[in-house]
Amino acid sequence: MTLFDAELATRLTRYAALDSQSDAASPTGPSTQIQWQILRLLADELTQIGAAEVQVTEYGTVLATIPATAEGPTIGFLAHVDTAPQFNATGVKPRTIERYNGGDITFPDAPGLVLSPAEFPYLATKQGHTIITASGTTLLGADDKAGVAIIMTAARHLLENPGIPHGPIRIAFTPDEEIGRGVDKRLPKDLAADFAYTFDGGAVGEVEYESFSADGAVVTVKGVSIHPGYATGRMVNAITLAAKIIAALPHSTMTPETTAGRDGFIHATDMTGGASEMVIHFILRDFERDGLAQKGEILRQVCAAVQATEPRAEITCTITPQYRNMRYWLENDMTPVTLARAACARIGVEPVSVPIRGGTDGSRLTEMGVPCPNLFTGMQNIHGPLEWVSVQDMAKATELCLALVQEAAGASKDRPPAE
């Protein structure tokens, strides 16, 4: 049992039980009304623990300040409140497994589901830990409510212990990260941080400063609808053309299930409609701008080729930028990464920096002028029913948060005074 275990477990299970799934099809911000519940809850909790300048912005971000106790840069800590739309997140029933015995974990609401350390070796290293999962029919939402719990716990500790030296700390809880809309254009100015960190990573030690670059694509196929009994030579079935597009894209390479490391992909996330019209949504991912542009061009060429086979159809392909690799900016000033690595050393953790096969709010924030690496929370198997997190890993992340602010305050003393 560490200093923060009980608080972290209580916070995560409370937050995870709140439905806050985002919705890419919604034009509003936040994309779902249900996100407002947890946003307002967090604002209330920040006020209760004594944070300053607490507000919920009109774009759905909770902001707050922990006043400085020493000289130092203004640091931002961020986590997102929404959960992924890829899997059921309604009716989450978090459960706590004390003193994990190292064996298979089963689920009360899905008897055939098994979380096995043989399949997930990281779990095998957590024997004796407190493990939190959902009940088997939903995701847990540790992505990123573990990050929320970590920041809230660290904030409460800092406010109750003003003897800990740190500069100004800005807290931001954002909506809609899972659909690439978590960083409103007003956030960098409102956050007012010299640099920031998202707590949205996985295994202990992760200090990530490189992410995918990402675009979204929507392909619309409009056919010609007519009664099927009289369709000879007249009907153009949009479903058939949509299937041709999917079939013509690379399948043995360039898909999520066939790529790893630094390989990017073209991923069809959903397809809806009928014989008269089909809409296919894609995400395009690559670590480099050229590779991302290439994948967009492949998709456009496939659409054009299928269009050429049936001129009576109308096929459009619209590609929209989402975020870019944070490395492009962080490699010019690695100060926040260096501080995070030093903070890891302070708490006895070996830092590990590997490219994120995804993105965070930090990707957009960095691109918009606020350097923002990503730090570990402990969450594993995200976006599905096997999602889990170790409370002790979360406690280590909380320690990292506290070490970071002290490391930054100490580093500021070493800087020569401005002339």
C-alpha 350/C-alpha 37 separation (Å) is: 37
Checking DSSP bridges between strand 277-286 and strand 265-273, what pairing results, if any? antiparallel
Q: What percent of the chain has pLDDT over 90?
A: 96
Average pLDDT (328-357) is 96
Nearest to 2 by CA among 348, 379, 417, 261: 348
Residue 178 labelled as part of a binding site: yes
Average pLDDT (232-244) is 97
C-alpha 121/C-alpha 415 separation (Å) is: 43
Mean pLDDT of the chain: 96
Q: Is 163 exposed, middle or buried (0-12, 13-18, 19+ CB in 10 A)?
A: exposed
CB 344 within 8 A of CB 204: no
SS3 track for 70-98 = CCCCCEEEEEECCECCCCCCCCCCCEEEC
Q: Could you read off the pLDDT of 185-237 as tens digits, one per residue? A: 999 999 999 999 999 999 999 999 999 999 999 999 999 999 999 999 999 99
Q: Could you read off the pLDDT of 300-329 as tens digits, one per residue? A: 999 999 999 999 999 999 999 999 999 999
Instruction: Give CATH 3.40.630.10 domain extents, the chain.
Output: 5-211+325-414
Nearest to 158 by CA among 406, 411, 391: 406
Q: Which architecture characterizes domain 5-211+325-414 according to CATH?
A: 3-Layer(aba) Sandwich (3.40)
Say which CATH topology domain 213-323 has: Alpha-Beta Plaits (3.30.70)
User: Looking at the predicted structure, is the pLDDT value of residue 418 above 50?
Assistant: no
Active site residue 82: yes
Residue 109 labelled as part of a binding site: no
pLDDT band for position 2 (cuts 50, 70, 90): confident
Instruction: Give CATH 3.30.70.360 domain extents, the chain.
Output: 213-323
pLDDT band for position 92 (cuts 50, 70, 90): very high
Active site residue 177: yes
Q: Could you read off the pLDDT of 247-281 as tens digits, one per residue? A: 999 999 999 999 999 999 999 999 999 999 999 99
User: Looking at the predicted structure, is the pLDDT value of residue 416 above 90?
Assistant: no
User: Looking at the predicted structure, is the pLDDT value of residue 413 above 90?
Assistant: no
Radius of gyration of the chain (CA): 23
Q: Could you read off the pLDDT of 121-177 as tens digits, one per residue? A: 999 999 999 999 999 999 999 999 999 999 999 999 999 999 999 999 999 999 999
pLDDT band for position 335 (cuts 50, 70, 90): very high
Lookup result for tokens 């300053």: 52
C-alpha 119/C-alpha 130 separation (Å) is: 19
Residue 143 labelled as part of a binding site: yes
User: Looking at the predicted structure, is the pLDDT value of residue 415 above 90?
Assistant: no
Residue 327, SS3?
Answer: helix
Q: Could you read off the pLDDT of 10-57 as tens digits, one per residue? A: 999 999 999 999 998 899 999 999 999 999 999 999 999 999 999 999
pLDDT band for position 414 (cuts 50, 70, 90): low
User: Looking at the predicted structure, is the pLDDT value of residue 419 above 50?
Assistant: no
SS3 track for 35-68 = HHHHHHHHHHHHHHCCCEEEEECCCCCEEEEECC
82, 176, 286, 310: which one is catalytic?
82
CA 285 to centroid of chain Cα atoms? 15
The model carries a pTM of: 0.92
Q: Could you read off the pLDDT of 275-287 as tens digits, one per residue? A: 999 999 999 999 9
| φ, ψ at 183 (rounded to 5°) | -110, 100
Average pLDDT (355-383) is 96
Q: Give buried/exposed letters for 351-379 (b at 16+ CB in 10 A, else e).
A: beeeebbbbbbbbbbbbbebbbbbbbbbb
What is the model's pLDDT at position 412? 59
Give the H or E element holding residue 286: strand 277-286
User: Looking at the predicted structure, is the pLDDT value of residue 417 above 50?
Assistant: no
Those residues whose C-beta lies under 8 Å from the C-beta of residue 404, and which sit 6 or more positions away, are 75, 197, 339, 340, 343
